[in-house]
Amino acid sequence: MDTKQYFYRNVIFSKQGKKISIVDIHNPKNDREELEPWFAMVFQLADGQHTLEQLLQFMPSQYNGMPPENLRKTIVSVVERMTQNRIIMLTEKQTELPYYLSMPYELLDIEKAKKELAKDRADLN
């Protein structure tokens, strides 16, 4: 895995306390897919402004000098699984998140988010 790549969120999310869930903006009351803690941590940091190497350097600091022995391997595995499922994306350059991915669902202006999402989808076609 090229750790010089930047990583960014690719799905709309909900944050309730420490819980991060993937949410469908058009049906937010439907079942939400709650992310496991490792996935939630990587997901929150996936802002398009940082490289995977920066993530790998940052994470040990979260363990008060006692990071798990397999921390790097675990993070790489989490990133690989999240990219395979298109929850996060990798890119060669810094990426500005669109409005609808920049913050939790609960903080979005939902109508604005839906309009921008529809425009972005139309631009892809």
Confidence check: pLDDT of 20 > 90: yes
Residue 1 falls within a domain, yes or no?
Answer: no
Q: In which band, very low, low, confident or very high, does the pLDDT at 26 lie, cut at 50, 70 and 90?
A: confident
**117 has a pLDDT exceeding 90:** yes
In a domain, 36, yes or no: yes
Print the domain residue range for 65: 6-124
Q: CA 121, CA 29: separation in Å to the nearest integer?
A: 22
Total count of domains within the chain:
1
- Tens of pLDDT, residue by residue over 77-98, are 999 999 999 999 999 999 999 9
59 lies in some domain: yes
For the chain, what is the mean pLDDT? 93
User: Per the domain annotation, does 65 fall within a domain?
Assistant: yes
